[in-house]
Amino acid sequence: SAVISQKPSRDICQRGTSLTIQCQVDSQVTMMFWYRQQPGQSLTLIATANQGSEATYESGFVIDKFPISRPNLTFSTLTVSNMSPEDSSIYLCSARDREGNSPLHFGNGTRLTVT
């Protein structure tokens, strides 16, 4: 199964700044996704990171706020732009290594605090 490395693991940022989160998978994967999770809450899908094309965003999330890159089959970045305290959350990268019944694998997440 795919092993996902995510960094940074945590950060404290000032409002108005931007943070880029990196996600590296140890093998080529078909699908990569970015989720957000408030402590004690469920996982909310932000977007699907598409290799070589623009990400597919879920309702309530836009590219200007959360630009995503996926230059190849093993790497993706999520940027949280112009941050405000409401962006404080855990951001999780996930991947599925093949089609069919393969499960989602998750990175350990990035705990972001915006002051």
Which range in 20-28, 62-70, 79-87, 104-112 contacts other proteins by CB under 8 A?
A: 104-112
Q: Which is nearer to other proteins, 14 or 100 (CB)?
A: 100
Q: What is the pattern of x (binds other proteins, CB under 8 A) and - over residues 51-90?
A: ----------------------------------------
The interface with other proteins within residues 23-52 (CB under 8 A) comprises: 33, 35, 40-45, 48
**Site residue total, other proteins (CB under 8 A):** 18
Which range in 15-23, 67-75, 78-86, 99-107 contacts other proteins by CB under 8 A?
A: 99-107
Q: Which residues, in sequence order, are bridge partners of residue 40? A: none
Contact by Cβ (8 Å): 43, 51: no
3-state SS string for 10-70? EEEECCCCCEEEEEEECCCCCEEEEEEECCCCCEEEEEEECCCCCCEECCCCCCCCCCEEE
Ramachandran region of residue 26, left (φ > 0), alpha (ψ -120 to 50) or beta?
alpha
Which residues of the chain form contacts with other proteins (CB under 8 A)?
Answer: 33, 35, 40-45, 48, 92, 101, 103-109
